[in-house]
């Protein structure tokens, strides 16, 4: 890989979910240029094995590097849980020692210390993220006194990827998974949406979550953490292009991506289809 030059900040997700992160990042850091990549053709990742998620994620990261990104955010919990550590520790030193890849789990866990009163947290995530126990492990390191339970919501991502997030069919599965989490630990006072797709179901989630329980979405947490990171790593920051622009890549048919992405991003999206 040739030495890093100035390029956009790469934001990667298996599909549409990373748009919820990108929206908040752009809100807090509007002056930078961004390149979004959604691997929609191969989503969902959440039910795939460790090795497959790692392979898919690495191929996406390499592509974003080729597009000029010096910094890539894995705006996907499943990829952060299953691929980030190996990419950071094994692949980057060999492939691109001057580039960086960051995830979304650590910034989310760091924020927990200041939000929960009871210390009882429910994390809702994909089956893959739950199986990796990444949240339990990270919380254990930072806040060993907290009681955390992780719950898989396997139907939520397919509903979103298939344009059913706002349809009546989604209500059943939203209530089912929220009820299960709260029945499991009635002292829960904070629900973490530990999948970047889930904020797209927020209107329905809010309808069934009892008052007094806090719902934590990751977008603003990741944005604040990125801003802090760029402030502390001037060598990376200087290689992140400014231009207040965003370009979208997808592995699905572009017109299909554009339709839902425009809804989720709250503005018109025009993407280009790529193969990974």
Alpha carbon distance 108, 51 (integer Å): 24
The window from 28-36, 37-45, 115-123, 254-262 that contacts ligand DGL (CB under 6 A) reads: 37-45
- Asked if 91 and 58 count as a contact pair (C-beta separation under 8 A), the reply is yes
Residues numbered 67 to 96 that lie near ligand DGL (CB under 6 A) are 76-78
> Do 103 and 84 touch, CB atoms closer than 8 A?
yes
Task: Tell me the torsion sign for CA atoms 158, 162, 163, 169.
Answer: negative
Region binding ligand DGL by CB under 6 A among candidate stretches 44-52, 200-208, 229-237, 268-276: 44-52
- Site size toward ligand DGL (CB under 6 A) is 17
Q: Looking at beta carbons only, is 200 or 241 nearer to ligand DGL?
A: 200
- Pick 196 or 271: Cβ nearer ligand DGL: 196
Q: Which is nearer to ligand DGL, 4 or 170 (CB)?
A: 170
- From the CB of 237, what's the least distance to ligand DGL, in Å? 25
Reply yes or no: is the peptide bond before residue 44 cis, omega within 30 of 0: yes
Question: How much is the CA Rg of the chain, to the nearest whole Å?
Answer: 18
Give the chain's end-to-end CA distance (angstroms, integer): 17
Residues 240 and 130: their CA atoms lie apart, in Å, by 33
Q: Select which of 69, 153, 195, 240 is catalytic.
A: 195
| 134 is an interface residue for ligand DGL by CB under 6 A | no
Q: Does 43 bind ligand DGL (CB under 6 A)?
A: yes
Sheet bearing 34-38, strands edge to edge: 100-102, 71-74, 9-13, 34-38, 246-250, 271-273
Q: Where are the alpha helices (DSSP H) in 143-233?
A: 156-161, 169-184, 202-208, 219-232
Give the helix/strand (H/E) hosting 34.
Answer: strand 34-38
Residue selected from 44, 103, 107, 199 as contacting ligand DGL according to rule CB under 6 A? 44
Measured from the CB of residue 233, what is the shortest distance to ligand DGL in angstroms?
Answer: 24
β-pair partners for 7 = 240
69 is a catalytic site residue: no
Active site residue 76: yes
Binding mask 153-182 for ligand DGL (x = CB under 6 A): ----x-------------------------
Separation CA 69–CA 83 (nearest Å): 18
CA distance 17 to 264: 9
Stretch that binds ligand DGL, among 43-51, 62-70, 82-90, 106-114 (CB under 6 A): 43-51
Q: How far is the CB of 123 from ligand DGL (least distance, A)?
A: 11
- Residue closer to ligand DGL (CB basis): 46 or 219: 46
Q: Which of 197, 204, 205, 239 binds ligand DGL (CB under 6 A)?
A: 197
The least distance separating ligand DGL from the CB of residue 152, rounded to whole angstroms, comes to: 10
Q: Which residues are catalytic?
A: 76, 195
Query: Which residues contact ligand DGL by CB under 6 A?
Result: 13-15, 17, 43-46, 76-78, 126, 129, 157, 195-197
């Amino acid at each position: 890989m040739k030495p890093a030059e100035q390029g956009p900040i790469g934001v990667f997700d298996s599909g549409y979910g990373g748009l919820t992160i990108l929206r908040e990042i752009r809100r807090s850091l509007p002056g930078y240029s961004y390149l979004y990549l959604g691997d929609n053709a191969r989503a969902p990742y959440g039910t795939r094995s460790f090795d497959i998620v790692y392979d898919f994620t690495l191929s996406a990261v390499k592509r974003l590097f080729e597009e000029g990104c010096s910094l890539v955010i894995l705006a996907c919990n499943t990829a952060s849980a299953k691929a980030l550590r190996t990419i950071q520790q094994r692949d980057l030193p060999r492939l691109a020692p001057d580039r960086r890849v960051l995830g979304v789990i650590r910034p989310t866990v760091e924020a927990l210390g200041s939000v929960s009163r009871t210390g009882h947290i429910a994390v809702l995530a994909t089956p893959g993220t739950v199986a990796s126990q990444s949240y339990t492990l990270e919380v254990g390191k930072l806040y060993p006194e907290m009681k955390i339970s992780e719950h898989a919501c396997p139907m939520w991502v397919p509903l979103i990827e298939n344009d059913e997030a706002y349809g009546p069919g989604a209500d059943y599965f939203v209530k089912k998974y929220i009820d299960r989490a709260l029945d499991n630990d009635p002292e829960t006072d904070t629900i973490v949406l530990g999948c970047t797709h889930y904020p797209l179901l927020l209107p329905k989630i809010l309808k069934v979550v009892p008052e007094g329980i806090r719902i934590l979405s990751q977008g603003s947490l990741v944005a604040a953490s990125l801003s802090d990171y760029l402030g502390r790593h001037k060598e990376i920051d200087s290689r992140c292009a400014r231009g207040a622009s965003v370009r979208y890549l997808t592995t699905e048919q572009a017109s299909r991506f554009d339709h839902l992405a425009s809804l989720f991003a709250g503005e018109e999206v025009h993407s280009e289809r790529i193969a990974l």
